[in-house]
A and B are shown apart, each in its own frame.
Chain A
Amino acid sequence: MITNPRWRALTRHNLFWPVAVLVALLLVNIPFTPDFFAIHMTDGHLYGSLVSIVLFGSPLILVAVGMTLVIATGGIDLSVGAVVAITGALTCSYISDQKDQDALSGVLLAMGLGLIAAVVCGLWNGFLVARMGIQPIIATLIIMVAGRGVAQLITDGQIITINSEPYKLIGGGYWLTLPFSIFVVAAVVAVTVALTRRTALGLLVESVGGNAEASRLVGIRSMRIKIMVYVFCALCAGIAGLMVSSNTSAADGNNAGLWIELDAILAVVIGGTSLLGGRFSIGGTVVGALVIQTLTTTIYTIGVPTQTNLVFKAAVVIVVCLLQSPKFRAKVFGARAKKTPPAAPAAVTTEPATPKMEVS
């Protein structure tokens, strides 16, 4: 079926399927909303579906970028949703206690407090995973379960609403005609890419994910790297928590960031990072997060009843995962190729998997 070598190389690139799905999803909108790609200026702000996809997707992109590094070390962080809730709760409750909620120093202090809480959560996760050697999925389950309780404890079970102009900026404000959160996300992504791809850090993270024991013997401080990625992931979740609470001007310990960990893991997987660790793609994750957000937006704009949102999401997860599964591709796409050399099924099964690893 696929003969052109260039085309083959392209389809094997690890960003091919995620980008293809994203483009397909964007194109689906055109028959329903002809001006889907139009961006217009109102009150000095840019508006348009593309802008709002990035705006509403910002917290998810942030959390997913942090999650990518954790998954690259062979771990997983289930606690990010709870960290989002804790950060928002702490920051908003501190701001709401201020006499002047618009005072910049108070807002900065509150944000600092929230982020410190996030870092503490990350340290705790990193300590359990790296020092105690506990399976990541269980170690982070603790904060996932207890964290929302802590967030509700901070807000006393209430939804705290605040009215602070400077705090509104980070999640709902505009700067240079674009939503401010886009700049925050861009900065975090840029710093992460620079640190992981322009320094050896990314390689170290991948080697720890590939084989922690071997990389320790080579002289990499794998324990330190692991703790670092959990702290980074929690910090990203903390910033996302600031964004969510700032956008709604409220902290809801129960619902803030609900299921964001699952969406983030999904974004990472859609982006082509293997859950087994050992390699990662930040670009893929950003595309993956955009796919999820575009899916949500598309469902709204084409007028499908919103309650079917989750069914569509499930369908996309299944399709993307199946497309990425070497075994599935061998069974479905390889079935035709198999006809010529029927004697070597093993070669057909392994063939699509091996080059993919080399590309990344």
Chain B
Amino acid sequence: MSTTTKTPTTAAKPEARTPSKAARVLGDRRLPVLVTAALFLAMYIAGLSRYQNYGFGDSQVFLNLFIDNGYLLVAAVGATFVILSGGIDLSVGSVIGFTTMLTAWLVQDVGLPLLVVIPISLGVGAFGGFLMGYVIHNFEIQPFIVTLAGLFLFRGLCLVISKESIAINDSAVSSLAETRVSLGLGELSIGAVVALVVLAAAFYLLHYTRFGRRIYAIGGNEQSALLMGLPLGGTKIAVYTMSGFCSALAGLLFMLYIQSGDPLHAVGMELDAIAAVVIGGTLLTGGSGYVLGTLFGVLVLGLIKSIIQFEGTLSSWWTKIATGVLLCAFILIQRVMTTRKKA
């Protein structure tokens, strides 16, 4: 695993001197993930000591982090792929919102069975991602602008389906939403299980396949990747297709979680996803990071929300401020790391 991920940087920035021990610790790519994991642990312990009498220690409270943030985890995994390849996808929140609308409309108003609707929704999301990737690669327009167009397009399509939210009272959806998988310590929802499966698949793809290695290479240095003969276009398009697919899947999970479609669902969720990826230690310049870090990023964001819930008196805007402060801290850590590596 370590060889896979180290290749791109050594190619990009050859280290002239043997670094000192401190520099080696600071320059370790795993450091941000460890810091995030440690932060998560510290926050969890702080929560335990503060709200022990309110049942914070229940294993179910911990598992609820996955149940309540499964969709965010799936979206953030998709974003991790794009960011590792050196791009960005701003359309995530809109695709999620669109998927909730599309499924709600197809199930509720058109009356298609859920089993037919799921592949349609996933296909539409993946196709949207494919189109964006195609335009980004073939016409050399910046990912930022293309996915911004995607953001407007999918949010607009939500409103074209309906201006009102659509509540779903289909029996298949509600039984799926209420299904719980028992783990002994507590139970997980189908959404949480799917999210964990996606995480495992992404872990395998990124660290054990040629495709994953190409993503790191392209994110590390696109020019050298091209000169090495890597299929730049194919990989890039695949990355955006996967991000579109993950967003659509996240939309399905969100639809299960909320059991409705709404044109304003998940507005701005691309930022939560990007924030989770950054807090998880992935460099936004691409080429460095772990999908496990993204998991911890999502868990930290989820934990902030549940701590604020337990606190009760704190207002919801503190979530945004806390997220911003955390972002800032992790960006500065990343900065210190990258400068140390250059020195």
Contact = CB atoms under 8 A, between A and B. Distances in A.
B323 A146 contact: yes
Given A133-B335, A310-B155, A325-B139, A317 B145 contact: yes
B156 A141 contact: no
A275 B144 contact: yes
Interface residues of A, number: 47
B311 to A, nearest CB: 15
Contacts of B90: 262
B156 A314 contact: yes
B167 to A, nearest CB: 19
A230 to B, nearest CB: 16
B85 to A, nearest CB: 15
A307 B274 contact: no
Given A135-B285, A321-B145, A142 B331 contact: yes
A321 B155 contact: no
Nearest to A315: B153
Contact of A139 (B315, B318, B319, B331): B331
Contact of A307 (B142, B159, B271, B317): B159
A51 interface: no
Interface string B328-343: 1001100100010000
Interface stretch (A2-10, A26-34, A148-156, A200-208): A148-156
A20 interface: no
B327 A141 contact: yes
Most buried by B among A275, A307, A326: A307
B156 A138 contact: no
Contacts of A276: 142
A145 B159 contact: no
A157 interface: yes
Given A321-B141, A327-B139, A138 B331 contact: yes
Nearest to A154: B317
A32 B319 CA distance: 47
Given A134-B335, A262-B148, A307-B159, A141 B325 contact: no
Contact of A325 (B88, B140, B335): B140
B284 interface: yes
Contacts of A152: 315-317, 320
Interface in A146-192: 146-150, 152-153, 157
A135 B157 CA distance: 32
A265 B143 CA distance: 13
A138 B284 contact: yes
Instruction: Say what secondary structure dominates the interface of chain A.
Output: helix
A307 B321 CA distance: 32
Given A269-B145, A307-B160, A314 B323 contact: no
A142 B327 CA distance: 6
A145 B271 CA distance: 8
A265 B151 CA distance: 14
Contact of A148 (B141, B152, B317): B317
Interface in B273-299: 274-275, 278, 284-285
B149 interface: yes
A308 B275 CA distance: 30
29 contacts: A138-B327, A139-B331, A141-B278, A142-B324, A142-B328, A145-B320, A146-B325, A146-B327, A149-B318, A149-B323, A153-B318, A262-B90, A262-B151, A262-B152, A265-B144, A275-B144, A307-B160, A308-B156, A308-B160, A310-B153, A310-B156, A311-B156, A314-B152, A321-B139, A321-B141, A322-B141, A325-B140, A327-B138, A328-B139
The 9 closest A-B pairs by CB, nearest first: A146-B324, A149-B320, A310-B156, A311-B156, A307-B159, A314-B153, A152-B317, A149-B321, A314-B152
Given A146-B320, A276-B142, A314-B150, 11 more contacts: A133-B335, A141-B271, A142-B327, A145-B323, A153-B321, A262-B90, A266-B145, A275-B142, A275-B145, A313-B156, A321-B146
Interface of B: 88, 90, 135, 138-142, 144-146, 148-153, 155-157, 159-160, 163, 263, 271, 274-275, 278, 284-285, 315-321, 323-325, 327-328, 331-332, 335, 339
